[in-house]
Structure 1
Amino acid sequence: MGKILVTGATGNVGRHVVSQLAEAGLEVRALARAPERAGLPVETVRGDLTAPETLEPALEDVESVFLLWPGFTADGAEAVVTAISKHARRVVYLSANGAEDPASHYHAVERIIRGSGLGWTFLRPGGFAANTLGWAALIRQGVVRWPYGQAARSLIHEKDIAAAAVHVLTSGGHHGAAYVLTGPEQLTQEEQVRVIGEATGREVRWEEQPQEEAREQLMAAWGEAAFVDGALRTWESFVTRPEEVTGTVEKLLGRPALTFREWARDHAADFR
């Protein structure tokens, strides 16, 4: 098997992809903007997906690429995919559930990859369990004031996303597949807070936040109106139509997906 390039290698998912590939004894190269600070156990080279001209050295002798696209638009993706196609034979793209929506930048990147001539597989996870780390300060205070406490999600552990990526990168039969990845259960946001509290040994309660107040707070934090409004609409929709559970992780890996409770135990220190 040829060398695998991992982009987004210092992120929540990328770090696990790198470590799992390295533990399997495979040739791995990690891409990082600052290799000297990456702290990865494999060859790490300097490169930036927003500057496609920096990718040539990283792509030398590479057969497969794990692609995590940065940002909320597809600007520049065509140049990056073109650079990849000059060297590699296939790409595993970390997309998202809902990428079928033509307005989504995930859809745009998928379209570019489909037309590139590369072999491809799309991983489309739903909600990341790691997104609940955004509640860390509130958990420490003992009250999570947030909107849509009854929004039910099937949050996935980043280790499972990485394990699915590694499986697809190292085995056959995945060309042209788009896998929707979820956790094994649906929990409301209020239940997620309770589970985190139990994992950390804290008394934590949920306090429902009005939507308009939440929007004002998120605008101050994120600064992108379309993204904020999209997030609020999505959470609202999960109150009446909970996020699906697909079972795809178990089908790919031959074991059940990790639960949110397991994720909370793994990250308990992050909330203390």
Structure 2
Amino acid sequence: MRKILITGATGNIGREVIHSLSELNMDAQIVAAVRNVERAEIEFSEYPNLSFQQFDFEDSKSFESAFEQIDTLFLLRPPHISQVEKYFQPLLLSAKENGIEEIVFLSVQGVEKSSIIPHNKIEALIRRNGFKYIFVRPGYFMQNLTTTLLSEIRESRTITLPSGHAKFNWIDVRNIGEATALLIKSFTKYQNAGYDITGTENKDFYQVTHLISKVIGTEIHFNSVDPINFYFKKRNEGVPKGFALVMAMLHFLPRFQKEPEISDNFEKLTGKCPTRLVDFIEREKKNMTLP
């Protein structure tokens, strides 16, 4: 039986990939790679057939046992890890030594145009190490509004980023999970290529805060700042420097790039239309409503 290891299993993306894989009724064993197995068993109690394996990106001693007898590795980059060579090269070498041949990596849309972001370097490492691969390249997560950006929305009715009028393509993480599961299921059909997974809307943060304001009934403003001020703002909030730097780059560099291309890959894979941003905000309205 095919064994599929899901890294980042307790995060937004990993959880959705596990959910979508479980709904496909594949002849495969799905293994969640987690730091705390006991806690994960409670969190995923609704998935009785899910297996668990202790795994930590920052502890190379956990790699060998996690990778044993794995056929397909779903790999993502934890937000706080920016030192690609330090953490991902040993991981990939261990995967290779343990016989893993297939990697599905969660990258980012436009990665091929920006050599300085970590995702670009990880894609290069995967190719260099000779894996069969699929690069999933989604647009901008709608769930950033209910995770990374939520505290500022609720506390000060603002979103502060160095993005100016740059437009981002907005995609629901649920849609990413659905598409990724189907790519994993039919790995051989789709291997050795990258796939943009996008929504149907490109909007800048001025437009998005206007839409949020309309839906939740409270005025939300967008504050565009230069990347240096943004970096130090995040550092003062306690954000690790690597994560703060990546956040600055991912929101600042699009100001100098073309508007994201809208792909129909999600519809081709699933036969469905992706979530609209207004529908996501309506769905998450209770989480976004100010206290």
For structure 1, the residue ranges without an aligned partner over 5 or more in a row are none
Aligned to 1:4: 4
Q: Distance in 2 between matches of 1:185 and 1:25?
A: 32
Aligned pair 1:55/2:63, yes or no?
yes
Aligned to 2:110: 98
Aligned pair 1:80/2:91, yes or no?
yes
Return the letter of the residue paired with 2:234: L
Aligned to 2:275: 258
Q: Distance in 2 between matches of 1:186 and 1:125?
A: 13
RMSD: 2.5
For structure 2, the residue ranges without an aligned partner over 5 or more in a row are none
2:249 to 222, 230, 235: 230
Per mean C-alpha deviation after superposition, the further-off stretch among 26-35 and 219-228 is 219-228
Aligned to 1:16: 16
What SS class does the counterpart of residue 10 from structure 1 fall into? coil
Total equivalences in the alignment: 269
Return the letter of the residue paired with 1:59: F
Q: Distance in 1 between matches of 2:68 and 2:33?
A: 12
Normalised by the length of structure 1, the TM-score is: 0.87
Q: Distance in 2 between matches of 1:116 and 1:214?
A: 36
CA distance change for structure 1 residues 228 and 164 in 2, over 3 Å: closer, same or farther?
Answer: closer
Aligned to 1:136: 150
Q: Distance in 2 between matches of 1:56 and 1:208?
A: 46
Q: Distance in 1 between matches of 2:95 and 2:249?
A: 31
Aligned pair 1:151/2:166, yes or no?
yes
Aligned to 1:120: 133
Alignment identity in percent? 23
CA deviation profile, 1:19-51 (whole Å, cap 9, x unmatched): 111222342000000122221222122111222
Determine if contact 2:209/2:222 at 8 Å carries over to the other structure. Answer: no
Normalised by the length of structure 2, the TM-score is: 0.82
CA deviation profile, 1:146-189 (whole Å, cap 9, x unmatched): 35563322111111111121011001411111112221111221
Aligned to 2:197: 181
